[in-house]
Chain A
Amino acid sequence: MIKAKINNIPVEVEKGVSILDAAKKAQIKIPTLCKHPDLPAGAGCGLCIVRIKGTPKMLRACSTPLEDGMEITTHDPEIVAVRRTVLELILSNHPNDCLQCGRNNNCELQTLVADFGIREESFQKFLPETEKDDSTRTIVLDPQKCIRCGRCVKVCQEMQNVWALSFLERGFCTRISPAGDIKLADSPCIRCGQCSNHCPTGAIVELDETAKVWELLQDQSKYCVVQIAPAVRVAIGEAFGYPIGTNLTRKLYALLRRLGFKAVFDTNFGADVTIMEEGSEFLQRFLHGTGPLPLITSCCPGWVDFMEKFHPDMIDHFSSCKSPHEIVGVLSKTYYAQKKNIDPKNIAVVSIMPCTAKKNEIIRCEEMYASGCQDVDVALTTRELARMIKQAGIDFVNLPDEDPDHMLGDYTGAGVIFGATGGVMEAALRTAYFLLNGKNMDKVELNQIRGLEGVKVAEIAINGKKIRVAVAHGLNHVEYVLNKVREAEKNNEEIPYHFIEVMACLGGCVGGGGQPYGVTDELRIKRASGIYQDDHDAKLRCSHENPFVQQLYKEFLGKPLGEKSEHLLHTHYQSRPVYVK
């Protein structure tokens, strides 16, 4: 252990911990704009400088490990003055567009400038003309607002292994852009939105589509229905002062009705249907060899995009089952439309998602139009919904609890855990166990595949058969799992896993790119525990038990993997170029 003093307060931390993190333990906040708890230190912004006794220079706290006996000063007039100058210099290359900015009131730079009480411009502004890039139709890159902290580049390259964004040129000309200054849509970008979630300013934000939804809600000819994804319910509260991880499912139902939606559904119902289809697909392959193993989950559109670009050799391993919100979308415009006798053309489906990639998924291929029109009309992120609530003047905190609309709204515990890493696998195994054994597991929780470990593996014995599974989240963890599969195939060895779950974002959807800002591991864990609590409290915890799912198959679909299911609930994948240009 390292013992030192920060502002005369004794601190004790493990070797290697930075001064920045050590100071937090002493309840001292050192400002930074480039260091993010998810990312290695980059020593980019220069705000975290501190003074160490006996050292003439001020050093950066983010990249200096605490050493034994250090005596550190984090705040004195001179240090604060230097930080102030750093901020003023950043402002000299940053527009004063705060009022119209996507990060207004939620911007790390704006907050610091306010905290430091900077009231005037000390340096002449220099703002080169730049062009916004909204080519992905999911996120918007505004280079003029970039402060070159490098978080998005680290996220894109190291956390996600996508390498769409890079630091080009140097010095004054340094900029964040895809290689060769092409548009993001022509780059390897998978639209996961993690860059937007880690950006300290408004340089990368989600494409705001709330106007589209307001318009649909105003349109008298439209029958607007809505669904919320599992991870949204435990994160939306952060925008309204709730403790992190508070589950607001039933308040959200009430809210969405107040916004004007005629029916309020739940993506968790779609998740239960996904399990019926994907679970059956798995068992078909596992028992009857109808397709290659391992089967790989495909509900994460960022992961689907990544696989199509970087691992097209895995296409045959992918579950053809659509993602839960697409399932609710297509069922709204077929099953629900028929039952309610509404022309599907007049139904508008809005999905509230923790994810920016879902904005692209809704148009990704022809199967997303299986109902005869676009199955999901608009996908909003959690952040966009929070803005809509505030615009609508609804006192969200004091809303009563309500229930969802039946048919496509009721869910089991298995449906809600889709929002956390390992959840899809856990839900699938609960139902696979039932289908193989004829009874439910005694203990449905599979703790081995919960939590934030990058790659989680488990072996589950069902009816004398052993099923080996792997769960990966954060795309930099995927390669390891896929290479194991490839190695075994090459050497003609037994496959290492029968079933693999991948989520593009760390922590799964609770850590999605469309979730409220400020994500850390602590936050991911708290949001996930909100989800697991919902599962724990559920009366029914296995997808096959959902009476509305049973009714759906009985009245409409027939059976899992049947003709109608294949037509409405399944899709295909194709190899795509990493670079279009």
Chain B
Amino acid sequence: MTEEKKNMQQEIASLVEKWKDKEGNLIMILHELQNYFGYVPRAAALELSRALQTPLARIYEVITFYNFFKLEPPGKHIISLCLGTACYLKGAPVLLNEIKTLLNIEEGQTTKDGLFQLDVVRCLGCCGLAPVIKIDEKVYGKVQKNQVMGILSEYSEHQKEG
């Protein structure tokens, strides 16, 4: 058994132990798993199914019912593109299309290399800078379509150096 798998089993065993007598424990454990991994890996869901004696089908019904839970790992860099009213009027849809085209992904998806995840959000609280893109914790304001490539390449470059 790999170290990774052992750790996962221990993590899940301790979560099950913690929540086993409480009502609605499946959802609470899934919350903790998602916080731990950033998503709910299939291997973890399978292990949880064994540990909690709950069919995997039921676990997936819960995971897919709530938007909060993710089945895919998050991208390394999270692009939050604002489609709030101000950003929308200032041309955010054009930026969204540009990002989709450049990265070849749809909203909510992660690039094949795992570098970027594209999320659409409503208002980042700096409408004066519209249209706004946030990548990880860095905010880019008054973004023009022709700047998008440059902004994204900052992160691609980091990746190459790293």
Chain A residues proximal to chain B, CB less than 8 Å = 157, 163-170, 178-180, 578-579
Segment from B54-62, B86-94, B145-153 that makes contact with A: B54-62
Determine how close the nearest CB of chain B comes to the CB of A154; give it in whole angstroms.
Answer: 12
What residues of A have a CB within 8 angstroms of the CB of B64 in the complex? 168-170
Complexed CA–CA distance, A179 and B55 (Å): 9
Contact A163 B57 (CB under 8 A): yes
1/0 per position for B92-122, CB-CB distance to A under 8 A? 0000000000000000000000000000000
Q: List 5 A-B contacts (CB under 8 A).
A: A157-B55, A166-B61, A170-B65, A178-B57, A578-B56
What residues of A have a CB within 8 angstroms of the CB of B60 in the complex? 166, 168, 179-180
Contact B65 A169 (CB under 8 A): yes
Contact B55 A167 (CB under 8 A): no
Determine how close the nearest CB of chain B comes to the CB of A215; give it in whole angstroms.
Answer: 38
Determine how close the nearest CB of chain A comes to the CB of B60; give it in whole angstroms.
Answer: 4
Complexed CA–CA distance, A179 and B64 (Å): 10
Contact A163 B58 (CB under 8 A): yes
What residues of B have a CB within 8 angstroms of the CB of A579 in the complex? 46, 56
> Which residue of A is nearest B55, CB measured?
A163
B18 at the interface (CB under 8 A from A): no
> Which residue of A is nearest B61, CB measured?
A166
Set B42, B46, B61, B71: member contacting A167, Cβ < 8 A: B61
Contact A157 B57 (CB under 8 A): yes
Complexed CA–CA distance, A166 and B58 (Å): 7
Complexed CA–CA distance, A522 and B61 (Å): 33
Pick the 9 closest A-B CB pairs, nearest first: A166-B57, A179-B60, A163-B55, A163-B57, A168-B64, A179-B56, A179-B57, A169-B64, A166-B61
Q: Say yes or no: A180-B42 contact (C-beta < 8 A), given A157-B55, A163-B56, A579-B56.
A: yes
Q: Say yes or no: A165-B65 contact (C-beta < 8 A), given A180-B42, A180-B71, A579-B46.
A: no
> Which residue of B is nearest A167, CB measured?
B61
What is the interface size of chain B, counting residues whose CB is below 8 A from a CB of the partner? 13
Instruction: Taking A163-B55, A169-B64, A579-B46 as given, write out 20 further A-B residue pairs in contact, using a Cβ cutoff of 8 Å, ordered by the A residue number.
Output: A157-B55, A157-B57, A157-B58, A163-B58, A164-B57, A165-B57, A166-B57, A166-B61, A167-B61, A168-B60, A168-B61, A168-B64, A170-B65, A179-B56, A179-B59, A179-B60, A180-B60, A180-B71, A578-B56, A579-B56
SS of B interface (majority): helix
Determine how close the nearest CB of chain B comes to the CB of A155; give it in whole angstroms.
Answer: 13
What residues of A have a CB within 8 angstroms of the CB of B58 in the complex? 157, 163, 166
What residues of A have a CB within 8 angstroms of the CB of B45 in the complex? 179-180
Complexed CA–CA distance, A167 and B58 (Å): 9
> Which residue of A is nearest B50, CB measured?
A578
What residues of B have a CB within 8 angstroms of the CB of A178 in the complex? 57
Determine how close the nearest CB of chain A comes to the CB of B98; give it in whole angstroms.
Answer: 27
Q: Which of B41-86 contact A (CB under 8 A)?
A: 42, 45-46, 55-61, 64-65, 71
Complexed CA–CA distance, A164 and B71 (Å): 19
Complexed CA–CA distance, A157 and B71 (Å): 23
What residues of B have a CB within 8 angstroms of the CB of A167 in the complex? 61
What residues of A have a CB within 8 angstroms of the CB of B61 in the complex? 166-168, 179
Determine how close the nearest CB of chain B comes to the CB of A306; give it in whole angstroms.
Answer: 13
What residues of A have a CB within 8 angstroms of the CB of B56 in the complex? 163, 179-180, 578-579
Determine how close the nearest CB of chain B comes to the CB of A378; give it in whole angstroms.
Answer: 31
Determine how close the nearest CB of chain A comes to the CB of B47; give it in whole angstroms.
Answer: 12
What residues of A have a CB within 8 angstroms of the CB of B71 in the complex? 180
> Which residue of B is nearest A577, CB measured?
B46
Complexed CA–CA distance, A178 and B65 (Å): 14
> Which residue of B is nearest A169, CB measured?
B64
**Most B Cβ at <10 Å: residue of A165, A179, A578, A579:** A179
1/0 per position for B129-150, CB-CB distance to A under 8 A? 0000000000000000000000
> Which residue of A is nearest B42, CB measured?
A180
> Which residue of B is nearest A170, CB measured?
B65
What residues of A have a CB within 8 angstroms of the CB of B65 in the complex? 169-170
Determine how close the nearest CB of chain A comes to the CB of B64; give it in whole angstroms.
Answer: 4
> Which residue of B is nearest A165, CB measured?
B57
Determine how close the nearest CB of chain A comes to the CB of B7; give it in whole angstroms.
Answer: 21
What residues of B have a CB within 8 angstroms of the CB of A180 in the complex? 42, 45, 56, 60, 71
Determine how close the nearest CB of chain A comes to the CB of B88; give it in whole angstroms.
Answer: 23
Complexed CA–CA distance, A85 and B71 (Å): 36
**Most A Cβ at <10 Å: residue of B57, B58, B61:** B57
What residues of B have a CB within 8 angstroms of the CB of A157 in the complex? 55, 57-58
Determine how close the nearest CB of chain A comes to the CB of B108; give it in whole angstroms.
Answer: 12
Determine how close the nearest CB of chain A comes to the CB of B66; give it in whole angstroms.
Answer: 9
> Which residue of B is nearest A157, CB measured?
B57
Determine how close the nearest CB of chain A comes to the CB of B117; give it in whole angstroms.
Answer: 20
Complexed CA–CA distance, A164 and B45 (Å): 15
Complexed CA–CA distance, A169 and B108 (Å): 15
What residues of B have a CB within 8 angstroms of the CB of A165 in the complex? 57
> Which residue of A is nearest B59, CB measured?
A179
Complexed CA–CA distance, A167 and B65 (Å): 9
What residues of A have a CB within 8 angstroms of the CB of B46 in the complex? 579
> Which residue of B is nearest A166, CB measured?
B57
Determine how close the nearest CB of chain A comes to the CB of B19; give it in whole angstroms.
Answer: 21
Complexed CA–CA distance, A166 and B42 (Å): 16
**Most A Cβ at <10 Å: residue of B42, B55, B59, B71:** B55
